Structure 1
Amino acid sequence: TDDQSRMNICWKNLVSGSSLAVCRPGFFKASPQSPSCSKCPPHSYTHEEASTSCLCEEHYFRRESDPPTMACTRPPSAPRNAISNVNETSVFLEWIPPADTGGRKDVSYYIACKKCGSPSGLCEACGSHVRYLPQQIGLKNTSVMMVDLLAHTNYTFEIEAVNGVSDQSPAARQYVAVNVTTNQAAPSPISIVKKGKIAKNSISLSWQEPDRPNGIILEYEIKYFEKDQETSYTIIKSKKTKITVNGLKPASTYIFQIRARTAAGYGGFSRRFEFETSPVSVAASSDQSQIPIIAVSVTVGVILLAVVIGFLLSGSCCNHDCGWASSLRAVAYPSLIWSVRCGYSKAKQDPEEEKMHFHNGHIKLPGLRTYIDPHTYEDPNQAVHEFAKEIEASCITIERVIGAGEFGEVCSGRLKLPGKREFPVAIKTLKVGYTEKQRRDFLGEASIMGQFDHPNIIHLEGVVTKSKPVMIVTEYMENGSLDTFLKKNDGQFTVIQLVGMLRGIASGMKYLSDMGYVHRDLAARNILINSNLVCKVSDFGLSRVLEDDPEAAYTTRGGKIPIRWTAPEAIAFRKFTSASDVWSYGIVMWEVVSYGERPYWEMTNQDVIKAVEEGYRLPNPMDCPAALYQLMLDCWQKDRNSRPKFDEIVSMLDKLIRNPSSLKTLVNASSRVSNLLVEHSPLGSGAYRSVGEWLEAIKMGRYTEIFMENGYSSMDAVAQVTLEDLRRLGVTLVGHQKKIMSSLQEMKVQLVNGMVPL
């Protein structure tokens, strides 16, 4: 019948799930046109029949743009293992993606920046002046750099992972927090310069302090020159935020730029400000025709007089402070620049200003003061009191001995200066029964250290000389010497963190180089590291004799030098320069990347000298980025003029930090052997009679059986072992891998240089 037929059709439609079917609980049909019912996707449900969509379970959500067939998702968990690298007022953050992405692929990151340590004790938002590279919101990669932060400020960075449903969740934010303290930095550029009174020969200027002074402004530097005459310019220094510049030409346009200086150095110059002097005013005299004649006569007379006096004084006043002579020159030639013999003239505009003239780059811009050797002082006490502050012994509390120095014990303690908070310090003491020479040498280091002020140079707090024991007080570095710290934390840091350490050391060395100071003993043992992983150059003692240093086994001028860290020309010809410091820096790079491995292993000093002279260079450390190893090789150029300068090294490392992907390319494992080493050279069996004897000698005897079972039964076979082979054999500990590979490398080096009878 017709009714029976209709019932059969309805039944078939129900069975087939056609558009006429009613979906049971747990199923849904998004539209009547859908051919069948669909099961609710993960983390969703229906409790009613004929549902057109499924509801999300608790704590799960769906975006409006998500199709109904898509599973309900939730916000991601917090990112993991966030680390920071502080570089003056910039911070680099890196982290691992969250363990739970919430079931979505659209995960991005948001960085919240908070400045802490305000008088209220609360943290506040950083503000719009902070820049995020590449961005703060919607970050896809797992690293970011914040720049233009304030100096000496505590920050908290919260890294939050978000996805398409994060804004729907009422739950608390899931983030990982990183606390950092920025270092000292130069001030930001001055942005506003205003002109004041303008006359025919002078212009008055005023300006505002930089938006970010990053410390106490010590002085300002005003650079000016006549328009289109940039090669001849004048520098004026002032401690005020206003100045009147005299000695200008009438009706002339001048360009002015100003920068500020703090203890961290000079900031950048402001943009160029253009101001014009007034025209020549006409004298209200009835006989104006005589003015030019009188002016010319006076000028000629003064010039002739100045020339005669100049010849008389040129020989003596170039090397002495003949203030009256330079003043006379300034009167005679107010618009000219003296660069013959003397180079520049100083003309005091007022007690707080210093003026220098420069022409065609003949005079070096005085961005940093020059280092003064304290040994040139007749009285060493005068040097130490000129460069170091005297501290009352009652202000110091010695807590414990942390080491031994050349002249006595090294202690940790506390320093409480009047009106200031107590803070931790390191204290070097001069041992009892010292000679006058020992006292002079001991305080000589303080006289050197006291001239430096840089975030990557150990800071001198002061000295105690008026009571016993005589002490040198410096800032306290919680993690001690860099070589020991790296050995204790073998394999625990990312490449970016290691590069950050190297960048800090290079920055400190650039500062020393700019001041004209040659360290001569740059090594990881003489780098100190604090709790924020900031590295600081220390130990300025190689200007003294290093008789007791075990690393110093080559005598020069009555003292000893550390062979493994010293450039070949410094060993052979005593040519110590910033270029020889660069060589030493390359060795420090190798120490850092190899986590404190001893350079050249157990080779003797004479063998090191011979090998380096013949062209041998340390092989790249295990898992070393190719870019870092290439920089090491550049530092080890035989021709010292071919080595990079420290400012170039800082620039190179900054580029690597800004582009972390450039550090992912490792040196090819097959090129780990030096260029002098013939690949696949058989080791023979002269050094060790068996594989077991070799492994026992390097305290890796536990692996003897594994080596033998896998066919490495002779030293010739062991010679071909690679890092991948060790992993395959089950040598998984990084420290054990490094020890075995370093031992093999050492034996190969000795074979090439004929140092052991293999």
Structure 2
Amino acid sequence: ERVLVPRGWKKKPVVLLFTVCRPGFFKASPHSPSCSKCPPHSYTLDEASTSCLCEEHYFRRESDPPTMACTRPPSAPRSAISNVNETSVFLEWIPPADTGGRKDVSYYIACKKCNSHSGLCEACGGHVRYLPQQTGLKNTSVMMVDLLAHTNYTFEIEAVNGVSDQNPGARQFVSVNVTTNQAAPSPVSSVKKGKITKNSISLSWQEPDRPNGIILEYEIKYFEKDQETSYTIIKSKETMITADGLKPGSAYVFQIRARTAAGYGGFSRRFEFETSPVSVAASSDQSQIPIIVVSVTVGVILLAVVIGFLLSGRRCGYSKAKQDPEEEKMHFHNGHIKLPGVRTYIDPHTYEDPNQAVHEFAKEIEASCITIERVIGAGEFGEVCSGRLKLQGKREFPVAIKTLKVGYTEKQRRDFLGEASIMGQFDHPNIIHLEGVVTKSKPVMIVTEYMENGSLDTFLKKNDGQFTVIQLVGMLRGIASGMKYLSDMGYVHRDLAARNILINSNLVCKVSDFGLSRVLEDDPEAAYTTRGGKIPIRWTAPEAIAFRKFTSASDVWSYGIVMWEVMSYGERPYWEMTNQDVIKAVEEGYRLPSPMDCPAALYQLMLDCWQKDRNSRPKFDEIVSMLDKLIRNPSSLKTLVNASSRVSNLLVEHSPVGSGAYRSVGEWLEAIKMGRYTEIFMENGYSSMDAVAQVTLEDLRRLGVTLVGHQKKIMNSLQEMKVQLVNGMVPL
């Protein structure tokens, strides 16, 4: 266009040229000197366009500048995995392959509670908590807590960006189905006072908001205000009690907790109530004298009756306190007396007739209810099979079946069923669950829940390097929780190892194999002393090896070894060292080195479990608490054990690597089944074992060894050679 300056101006006419943009170009402002090409995924069909239209399925936010490409919603997140811990679920996923061309990607979690019978699902509701949040998540993980026990959930993880709300199409998400486990009840929140006298206080309360199962009983703890070290426990199956024998005019503090098959929930907050003051009677009131006389007389008679009853009981050689079946009561001073009514383990060997123990703790199953499908392994007493169990009124479900081989002796039958007598006493989501036994027909069988992924050590070897640190910590947390339960029952496992941990499809770990297990005495310092028998040296605490004394603290030592097995994906503890070398090295104060890429916090916990003084080792409840903190704060797991210190801290007493263990690099690589890399090593100058000894993880990546499992195998082999015999252990 030509624009002429009007007549009358004294200056020369000026001609201004304005460019008209052709299709495919635009000019956002008439003052722009030139046209701009439409950004990606946009177009124009008309001349002189001031903006470009977005292609189909592409969008632009109002705040996006016209020069910005049109974008689309992201694709679904990938490879979502779950870790179930009682009534909490941890989800982790990989970002979407296609972010839609935007950087403002965040995540939204939809939670649905599903009915297993009807298949219908409904929104979870407001009681579920999301850590850190449900919407606007920037990181690729989230934890849901306060879920219901034994409930099927579906979680949908959706990636969203700035244009997702403009997309009329279907949502793009990845879903994860999980089933929560049993959980302890939530705390009692409401307590009301009833009748109060000078010596008693009556209370009532409501059932917890989330019982998570059938409430078996309540435990009421109370003490005189500011006298917390001397307290009283009352147990009741009702939601009301009367605490008597109290001091007049005194304040008392009450706390209540509920118990289900999963254990005790947390105590309620403290509720404070005061007894009535003593009413002082006039000394001149002679009418009280007959009452006092009668009271004293009745008291003397009652005392005589009680003494007579006790003496008669002693003459019979047996006495038993008579208790109200609905209420039990016991006093505590400084917390040293054992709680009454708390479930404790009963050693089946104490039964004169072992069959009685089996029938008391294990349910008898009709053989016709069991379908054996295939053999999955061999046990000490016979084959281990998988199959299905159909009980009356219930749906058929998969089970594992241990069978007793034909031609067994009576002792073998007792030993075989002894494990069922032990297992049947446990009820915890991280202890293998006994369904029942078959003893009235042949073959004799023990039926347990089926764990799809088998033993933990084999599973980890098959999936070397495939899990995140959080998933591995979740596995360890489950094992620790199961061991805490056993420890609380006064039970020592004695053979805790990754081979005796089973893992299901949800990556829930459960303690199994109770063949070597024994019971603790009531005294927490007591230990079971064996009379010979095989001991798993690599997993056993030094005091248990030296003195055959096993405690919960020796189980903690074994747990530290299990931690090392998990973090090294099923590596054999102490590698090829002999048992005698292991005993000698541990006694001299050396410990296994940190596995590759192990968080420093986890390795420190291992070293704590391997303290020589058993009283210095953490308790299982402390271990569970510590792992919970790490799971809630994943950033604490990012600090790894320094790779150089893993070797520099090692004691080197023997000759250098390559002194004859392997004659060539090729022989060494073939021995660890990594022969495919021989040519690469040789071409890059690693032609001797001395040169190979200097290889680092970065060197392996540069050489093209990209598979995590292969990297770990090579580095672990090098470290094993560097720390032959006691050289492989970090001194404490």
TM-score by length of 2: 0.88
Structure 2 SS opposite 1:753: helix
> Structure 1 residue 91: deviation in Å?
0.7
SS of alignment partner, residue 522 of structure 1: coil
CA deviations on 1:542-576 (whole Å, 9 max, x unpaired) are: 14899999999999623101111111111111121
Quote how far apart the aligned CAs of 1:366 are: 5.6
Please tell me the root mean square deviation across aligned C-alpha atoms, in Å.
Answer: 5.0
Cα contact 1:84–1:91 (8 A) shared by 2:
yes
Deviation at 1:628, TM superposition (A): 1.8
Range moving further from structure 2, 144-153 or 632-641: 632-641
SS in 1 for 2:491: coil
What is the DSSP-based 3-state SS (H/G/I as helix, E as strand, rest coil) of the residue aligned with 2:188? coil
User: Any conservation in 2 of the 1:683–1:748 contact (CA below 8 Å)?
Assistant: yes
Greater Cα offset, 267-276 or 28-37 = 28-37
2:155 and 2:175 in contact (8 A); partners too: yes
Q: CA deviation at 1:666?
A: 2.2
Taking a change above 3 Å as real, the CA distance of residues 526 and 650 of structure 1, as seen in their structure-2 partners, is: same
Larger CA deviation: 488-497 vs 124-133: 488-497
Q: C-alpha displacement at 1:688, in angstroms?
A: 2.2
Question: Does the CA-based 8 Å contact 1:219-1:260 persist in structure 2?
Answer: yes
**Larger displacement relative to structure 2 (219-228 or 31-40):** 31-40
CA distance in 2, matches of 1:192, 1:140: 38
For the residues of structure 1 that align with 2:592 and 2:32, how far apart are their CA atoms? 71
Do the aligned residues in 2 keep the contact of 1:477 with 1:529 (CA within 8 Å)?
A: yes
Cα pair 2:581 2:726 within 8 Å, conserved: no
Instruction: Flag the 1:346–1:182 CA change in 2: closer, same or farther, 3 A.
Output: farther
How far does residue 154 in structure 1 lie from its aligned partner after superposition?
Answer: 0.9
- Deviation at 1:22? 4.6
Q: CA deviation at 1:374?
A: 1.7
For residues 746 and 548 of structure 1, the distance between their equivalents in structure 2, rounded to whole angstroms, comes to 43
Distance between the aligned counterparts of 2:274 and 2:318, measured in 1? Answer: 26
How far off its partner does 1:407 sit? 1.6
CA deviation after TM superposition for structure 1 residue 739, in Å: 2.8
1:381 CA drift (Å)? 1.9
The change in CA–CA distance for 1:516 and 1:551 in structure 2 (over 3 A counts) is closer
Is the CA contact 2:528–2:549 (under 8 Å) kept in the aligned structure 1? no
Q: Report the CA distance between 1:313 and its aligned residue.
A: 8.0
Are the structure 2 counterparts of residues 255 and 717 from structure 1 closer, same or farther at C-alpha, using a change threshold of 3 Å? same
Spell out, residue by residue over 1:175-217, the C-alpha distance to the aligned partner (whole angstroms, 9 max, x if none).
Answer: 1111111111101112233344555554443333222111121
Distance 1:343 1:233 in 2: 32
1:664-718 deviation line (CA, Å, top 9, x unaligned): 2222221233733349973243222222332333333333332222222222222
Distance 1:517 1:469, change over 3 A: same
**Judging changes above 3 Å, is the alpha-carbon distance between structure 1 residues 435 and 371 closer, same or farther for their aligned structure 2 residues?**
same
The 1:259–1:551 alpha-carbon spacing in structure 2 relative to 1, beyond 3 Å, is closer
1:382-419 deviation line (CA, Å, top 9, x unaligned): 22222222223332222222221112222222222222
CA deviation after TM superposition for structure 1 residue 591, in Å: 1.3
Q: Is the 8 A contact 1:555 1:561 kept in 2?
A: no
Q: Which residue of 1 is the match for residue 351 of structure 2?
A: 377
Q: 1:717 to 1:693 in 2, by over 3 A?
A: same
> Which runs of no fewer than 5 residues in structure 1 stay unpaired?
1-10, 13-19, 316-340
Q: Aligned pair in 2 of structure 1 residues 586, 343: CA closer, same or farther (>3 Å)?
A: farther
1:140-197: per-residue Cα shift (whole Å, max 9, x none)? 1111110000111111111111112111111111111111111111011122333445
Q: Distance in 2 between matches of 1:678 and 1:745?
A: 12
**2-structure distance, mates of 1:85, 1:294:** 68
Measured at CA, do residues 754 and 351 of structure 1 come closer, stay the same or move farther in structure 2, by a change above 3 Å?
closer
Cα deviation, residue 741, structure 1: 2.4
> What is the deviation of 1:136?
0.6
Q: CA deviation at 1:534?
A: 0.6
User: For residue 15 of structure 1, what is the aligned residue in structure 2?
Assistant: none
How has the CA–CA distance of structure 1 residues 353 and 552 changed in structure 2, closer, same or farther, with 3 Å as cutoff?
Answer: closer
TM-superposed CA distance for 1:347, in Å, is: 7.8
Change in Cα spacing, 1:643 to 1:50, as seen in structure 2 (3 Å) is same
What is the aligned partner in structure 1 of residue 233 from structure 2?
235
Measure how far apart 1:56 and its partner are. Answer: 2.2
Secondary structure of 2:447 counterpart: strand
C-alpha separation between the residues in 1 aligned to 2:120 and 2:463? 34
1:441-466 deviation line (CA, Å, top 9, x unaligned): 22221121111111100111122223
Q: Which deviates further from its counterpart, 59-68 or 161-170?
A: 59-68
Residues 304 and 539 of structure 1: CA distance in aligned 2, closer, same or farther (over 3 Å)? same
Are 2:189 and 2:208, in contact at CA under 8 Å, matched by a contact in 1? yes
1:700 maps to 674
CA distance in 2, matches of 1:300, 1:534: 62
**CA distance 1:227–1:348, change in 2 (3 Å):** farther
Q: What's the CA shift for 1:251?
A: 5.3
- For residues 299-354 of structure 1, what are the alpha-carbon distances to aligned partners after superposition, in whole Å with 9 as ceiling and x for unaligned? 99769969996999899xxxxxxxxxxxxxxxxxxxxxxxxx99999987732111
Q: Are the structure 2 counterparts of residues 550 and 269 from structure 1 closer, same or farther at C-alpha, using a change threshold of 3 Å?
A: closer
Summarize the alignment of residues 96-111 of structure 1 with structure 2, pairs less than 5 Å apart.
Answer: 96-111=94-109
Is the Cα–Cα contact under 8 Å of residues 463 and 473 in structure 1 kept in the other structure? yes
Q: Secondary structure at the match of 1:559?
A: coil
* TM-fit CA distance, 1:536: 0.4
SS at match of 2:322: coil
Residues 287 and 147 of structure 1: CA distance in aligned 2, closer, same or farther (over 3 Å): same
Q: Distance in 2 between matches of 1:309 and 1:47?
A: 109
Alpha-carbon spacing, 1:271–1:549, altered in 2? closer, same or farther (3 Å): closer
Find the residue that maps to 2:209 and give its secondary structure.
coil
Deviation at 1:541, TM superposition (A): 0.7
- CA deviation string 1:571-604 (max 9, x = no partner): 1111211111111111111111221111122221
Cα distance, 1:342–1:361 mapped onto 2, change above 3 Å:
farther
Query: Could you say which residue in structure 2 is the equivalent of 1:169?
Result: 167
Q: Does the 8 Å CA contact 1:617/1:674 hold for their aligned counterparts?
A: no
| In structure 2, C-alpha distance between the alignment counterparts of 1:236 and 1:137, rounded to whole Å | 45
1:391–1:670 Cα change, 3 Å: same
Moved more, 503-512 or 694-703: 694-703
Separation of aligned partners in 1, 2:316 and 2:147: 43
Q: How far apart, CA to CA, are the structure 1 residues paired with 2:165 and 2:317? A: 67
Distance 1:295 1:86 in 2: 67
The answer (yes or no) to whether the contact 2:398–2:450 under 8 Å persists in 1 is: yes
Counterpart CA distance in 1 for 2:139 and 2:507 is: 24
Distance change >3 Å, CA 41–CA 694, structure 1 → 2: closer
In structure 1, which of residues 138, 142, 145 is the aligned counterpart of residue 143 of structure 2?
145
- The 1:194/1:456 distance shift into structure 2, 3 A limit, reads same
Query: Which deviates more, 362-371 or 602-611?
Result: 362-371
Q: Measure the CA separation in 2 of the matches of 1:566 and 1:754.
A: 18
| Worse overlay, 72-81 or 88-97 | 72-81
Change (3 A) 1:429 1:309: same
Moved more, 590-599 or 216-225: 216-225
Q: Is the 8 A contact 2:74 2:159 kept in 1?
A: yes
**Other-structure match for 1:32:** 30
Whole-angstrom distance in 2 between the partners of 1:486 and 1:67? 51
Distance across 2 between alignment mates of 1:549 and 1:254: 30
Q: Give yes or no for contact 2:592–2:729 (8 Å, CA) kept in 1.
A: no
1 CA distance for matches of 2:615 and 2:316?
A: 29
CA distance, structure 2, for counterparts of residue 426 and residue 676 of structure 1: 44
Q: Deviations over 1:9-47 (max 9, x none)?
A: xx99xxxxxxx6554444444445555544433333333
> Which 10-residue stretch deviates more, 58-67 or 550-559?
550-559
Measured at CA, do residues 204 and 119 of structure 1 come closer, stay the same or move farther in structure 2, by a change above 3 Å? farther
What percent of counterpart residues are identical?
Answer: 96
Match of 1:484 among 449, 455, 458: 458
Contact 2:401 2:447 (C-alpha < 8 Å) held by counterparts: yes
| Secondary structure at the counterpart of residue 686 of structure 1 | coil
How many corresponding residue pairs? 716
Contact 2:76–2:159 under 8 Å retained in 1: yes
Structure 1 residues 286-295 or 210-219, which shifts more?
A: 286-295
Distance 1:51 1:263, change over 3 A: same
Please say which of residues 26-35 and 567-576 is displaced more in the overlay: 26-35
Q: Is the 8 A contact 2:215 2:260 kept in 1?
A: yes
Looking at structure 2, the residues matched to 270 and 343 of structure 1 have their Cα atoms a distance apart, in angstroms, of 42
Which whole-Å CA distance do the structure 2 matches of 1:665 and 1:411 have between them?
A: 43
Partner Cα distance (2:524, 2:242) in 1? 59
Q: Report the equivalent of 2:381.
A: 407
> Which runs of 5 or more structure 2 residues have no equivalent in the other structure?
1-8, 11-17
- Aligned-pair CA distance for 1:500: 0.9
Normalising by the residue count of structure 1, what TM-score does the alignment of the two structures yield?
0.85
Match of 1:500 in 2: 474
